Amino acid sequence: MLTHRKMNYGALAAMLALSIGTTVAQTAEATTPTPAAGGQDAQIMLFWFLLSTLALVLMVFVLLFTMIIVRMKPQLRKVYELPTVHDTWSGKVLGLLIGDTRLVTGGYKEEDMGHSYDGITEFDNDLPPWWKYGFYFTIVFAVAYMGYYHVANAGELQIAEYETEMRQAALLVSNEPDDPNKLTTYTALMAPADLSAGKSIYATNCAPCHGANAEGKVGPNLTDEYWLHGGEINQVYKTIKFGVTSKGMVAWKGKLGAKQILQVSSYIESLQGSKPANAKEPQGEKATAGKSIAAK
């Protein structure tokens, strides 16, 4: 009876696999793209079709295997209970198929070691196999990791990987005029008309945070030698244009034109050393000698 069932399930599995294989071959032949009508898209579609078909074949195989195990469970249990099979490694694998988890959880000797304290008794039991297998895996992983990263130097460590990612990110930074990482090369405007326009722009947009005379309120004092973001007129231009979101400085590039930003930047530079009343305490670092205004 057992042999007959084996033959039936084996024949069914063989027929199903042959049928699927024939279908896959025919479909692959029919859908193989030609250089004229195929192209890369057709190749990708074919790849995913074959991958899906392989997954389907594996699912069918697992289903058939499970059905065979379920039907043959009584016969497998009799084989498992044989003394010559029960305690062997292959017998433990067979036991796992019919519900005995000794291969994973291990067995219990129940051998009292003679140590007892506060109602707790020590037994001589082995560690669970799953724990030991996991421990062995960590050893193998550690050796492979050490060899790959520190002996062969085939992989990048954290710092090198970070530097590589930063270089890759730099390649993606825009080179357009609105690139916040690209410093301009302007010089301060000295014409009275430009400074007057800058003063008007400052009074309308900047005075609420920096004070009417740039003495500093919510924002820093713009008339002393100390600056938060370093640089000269172009640094001021950059700070006004792109802002400093983390410190509440808004970006003015969508509200002021390039010339207007340069005018107000030049006006701020002209206020250096004016020492207004009620000036806010210095913030940041002192400007380097020989350099012009730095951005607040």
pLDDT tens-digit profile of 44-53?
A: 888 899 999 9
Q: Which residues in the chain show pLDDT less than 70?
A: 1-40, 106-111, 168, 170-177, 230-231, 287-296
In sequence order, what are the residues at sequence separation of 6 or more whose Cβ sits closer than 8 angstroms to the Cβ of residue 28? Answer: 46, 49, 50
Neighbours of 283 (CB within 10 A): 14
Calpha distance 91→98 (Å, rounded): 11
Query: Which CATH class for the 192-286 domain?
Result: mainly alpha
Domain boundaries, the chain: 2-71, 109-172, 192-286
CA distance 236 to 5: 86
User: CA 254, CA 186: separation in Å to the nearest integer?
Assistant: 20
Amino acid letter at 17? A
Does the predicted TM-score (pTM) go above 0.85?
no
DSSP code, position 152:
S
112: β partners: 123
Which pair of structure tokens corresponds to residue 271? Answer: 């206020």
pLDDT of residue 136: 93
pLDDT at position 2: 40
